[in-house]
Structure 1
């Protein structure tokens, strides 16, 4: 492993893009379009409406909320 290896929620992003066929920016926009909502409400939305697995949905939500200063 290199020193610059991506860690945390962003480490899931390549597999999310590959599995679900959309760039992370689109997933983040779906999360942002659902504000204001709580973390688990956003995770549930990605799972129920878009078929995303729990870990992937949680990673997108956590990263987006952090990036937006909401967590």
Structure 2
């Protein structure tokens, strides 16, 4: 019998679809967020949506994950 696969939880659960849809690894997006002069969650989400074309859920997941990493 095969073992069940471990699924990512929380924001990381979005990462495979983010990479597939936008053609960049998650590290690309996290690096952009870290390099941005913006600091507020809502500003970063809006910036990813308007400047980089990400959907709200994907942008939010990346910003939350980045914030958790410190």
**TM-score normalised over the length of structure 2:** 0.89
State the shift of 1:4 in Å: 2.2
Looking at CA atoms only, which structure, 1 or 2, has the larger radius of gyration?
2
- 1:1-71 equivalences under 5 Å are 2=4, 4-68=6-70
The whole-number CA distance in structure 2 between the counterparts of 1:54 and 1:11 is 15
State the shift of 1:34 in Å: 1.2
Shift in CA distance, 36/47, structure 1 to aligned 2, threshold 3 Å: closer
**Structure 2 unmatched runs, 5+:** none
Structure 1 residue runs of 4 or more that deviate by more than 3 Å after TM superposition: none
**Structure 1 unmatched runs, 5+:** none
The whole-number CA distance in structure 1 between the counterparts of 2:38 and 2:22 is 24
**TM-score normalised over the length of structure 1:** 0.88
Number of residues of Structure 1 aligned to a counterpart in Structure 2 = 67
The alignment's C-alpha RMSD in Å is 1.3
